[in-house]
Structure 1
Amino acid sequence: MDLKGNLLATIDPKKSDLDPRVIQSKLISLKQAVLAKEALEKTGKFVPMAEAKLPKTATNNYDYMAIGGLIMLLGGVTLVPAARFYRKSGQSAEA
């Protein structure tokens, strides 16, 4: 979202996103965004950029959201036994 609350982009990757035409259109859009950023840094003022069309990749597949939620829940559940183990063992976690 931008500062005015407008939605700028949504991310919903699919296997079809690996199509070379889709990748090329995204790279063109990214190049335009980088050029606008460079112009913004030089002038210090917002520089409007041309619109670049991205392929429609949005989906409302609730199965993927449910799977993601389950993965997050499993991660949280496994954190409790791991914390108990480290407390009992007296070891500190190292990064």
Structure 2
Amino acid sequence: MPKYLIERKMPGAGQLSGDDLRSASQNSNGVLARMQQNGTNVQWVESYVTDDAIHCIYLAPNEEAVHEHARTAGLPADSVRQVRATISPMTAEP
């Protein structure tokens, strides 16, 4: 399944409390569960919170499914890009 990198511009995201992040996660998980029940398999892998944005990694059948999740969850999806390859320090090894 394709992997996507999503940028959610959210001024002050880095100041969100643990309770705020938990609530947002619960909301997202609920939407994902309903989507899966309706036959759209979207999986949230992980997210990175920075000062003014949250960057998420999702697995989804297509970009539209990522946007559907964002709309339904009431979350921004300012940039959605398909990941074409993953590299790390190990990529440099012969």
State whether TM-score is above 0.5.
no
Query: Which structure has more helix as a fraction of its residues?
Result: 1
TM-score by length of 1: 0.32
Larger relative contact order (Cα-Cα within 8 Å, sequence gap ≥ 6): 2
Query: Which structure has more strand as a fraction of its residues?
Result: 2
TM-score by length of 2: 0.32
